[in-house]
Amino acid sequence: MPLLLNLSRRYVLFMFRRYYGEFIVTGQENIPKKYPVIFAPNHVNALMDALAVHYIVPRNQVLVFLARADIFKNRKVAQFLNFAKILPAFRMRDGIENLGNNSKIFDECIEILHNNNSLGIMPEGNQEIERKLRPLVKGIFRIAFAAQQKYAEIPGVKIVPIGIDYGDIIKSQKHIIINIGKPIEVSEYMKLFAENPAKAMNEIRDKLSEDLSALTLNLATTNKYYGCFETNVDILQELALENYNLSDNTFNRYVARQKIAERLVLIEKNNPDQMVRLSELTVQLSDLLERLKMKCSIFSYKELKWLALIFEIGFCVLTFPVFLTGFLMNVIPFFSPVFIRKYILKAEFIGFYSSLHYVLGIITFPLFYIIQTLLFSFFVSSSWWIVLLFFLIQYPIGKMALSWYRKTIKLGAKIRFKQIEKLQSVQLIEAHNKFNDIVNLVLK
């Protein structure tokens, strides 16, 4: 790998790791060594999905990604994408006259695999922000079977499914979970492929779809009930932890949401009337929470005592100077990407937001920290170790300030809840009743 590309990759992945507050990778042992591999992740978060795959691939392994062809239209952008080892994939929307270009791209992909390098292909073909696995396109399997021809029925090309879950599709410092599934041996489908290519294509597609579904939070419902599914996996996760005897941590909460989604799918499939009732209750509950100006997290408040809240308030007051310092030192790098995205780039699709924030951030953060450090050395202290210390603490204290802010927001919600609870609000009582009805329908 060229030195410049290697250094750029390391920097980009270093910053990618720091974009998320909690970084969880499972199944690292499932990545094959010394074999041609096609990595197949679900696709909900633009560039961040590709970077998640880059992060888990061994540093000495070449990974080439396929991306939609329309982003190559700008010549300078195309040059950068080629430098970053990204190839264009043409779709019908790019013009039927351009589809022939895919033959050349597919040949390049086959050569990459024959050199024991790796490909990254989004098997869903497009991006949506819904946590729902979409039908898989055939391009990934055409490449896999064509490359496997060299090895016949001897193990060669492998497809590795990857499920990615984000704590938030937009905000930074949330969790990311990268689940690496067991590799699918393309060689096992070659005999069937020789006899009936269409059937082999469908079988391997069903296998990858099944594996991805198990590795993701797949809210496999119609659009009619998607909002109901999304709300219930959030409000019921706390009780699901107890039901399934799971300790309370980020990964287990993800597992609990998966199990709730599975229950909901079964309800929709086997008991349509119950699904209708559940949807009605969910809408009513959401309306009550909106009128109360509360979030579904209120159902996780157990034995909330004023004494404990007073201690939390005291802690927030005592640590306010830390927040203020971190805020003042980081307000420009933290908020400038959002400002640029909103008012200059004017991006509309939510699925691009975090990618734009990240790309802008890897420029604005170091640039601003360097400028701020130079000003500090000029006006405050020229001692090299104090200047170095100042440079190093800027980002950590910014993260502390962000954490303080989020904890304070949650504290405010708890205080409001206690006030409403003290007033014995009819709406709050009704919300709890609706919640209990939902629990009985889904988890009992």
Q: Is the pLDDT of residue 356 over 90?
A: yes
The β-bridge relationship of strands 158-166 and 184-185 is antiparallel
Res. 48 pLDDT band, cuts 50 70 90: very high
The SS3 call for residue 284 is helix
Q: CA-CA-CA-CA torsion for 47, 82, 124, 188, nearest 10 degrees?
A: -130
CB 437 within 8 Å of CB 235: no
Q: Is the pLDDT of residue 97 over 60?
A: no
- Write out pLDDT tens, residues 242-290: 999 999 999 999 999 999 999 999 999 999 999 999 999 999 999 999 9
| H or E element at residue 178 | strand 175-180
* Rounded Cα gap, residues 292 and 247, in angstroms: 30
Name the residue among 128, 89, 124 with its Cα closest to residue 81.
89
User: Within a 10 A sphere around the Cβ of 27, how many other Cβ atoms?
Assistant: 17
Sequence letter at residue 106: F
Res. 93 pLDDT band, cuts 50 70 90: low
What is the value of pTM for the model shown? 0.92
Name the residue among 84, 431, 18 with its Cα closest to residue 235.
431
User: Mean pLDDT across the chain, nearest whole number?
Assistant: 91
Give the pLDDT of residue 355.
93
**% of the chain beyond a pLDDT of 70:** 97
Domain range list for the chain = 3-215, 226-300, 306-429
| H or E element at residue 166 | strand 158-166
What is the arithmetic mean of pLDDT over 354-362? 94
- Write out pLDDT tens, residues 12-42: 999 999 999 999 999 999 999 889 999 999 9
Q: Which of 96-100, 188-192, 229-233 has the lowest mean pLDDT?
A: 96-100
- Write out pLDDT tens, residues 175-224: 999 999 999 999 999 999 999 999 999 999 999 999 999 999 999 998 88
Helices (H), 319-383: 320-339, 353-379
Helices (H), 166-305: 190-195, 197-215, 226-235, 237-243, 250-270, 272-292
Res. 67 pLDDT band, cuts 50 70 90: confident
Token pair belonging to 295: 């979030």
**Per CATH, the architecture of 3-215 is what?**
3-Layer(aba) Sandwich (3.40)
Q: Is the pLDDT of residue 136 over 60?
A: yes
Res. 99 pLDDT band, cuts 50 70 90: low
CB 229 within 8 Å of CB 219: yes
Give the pLDDT of residue 92.
59
| H or E element at residue 24 | strand 22-26
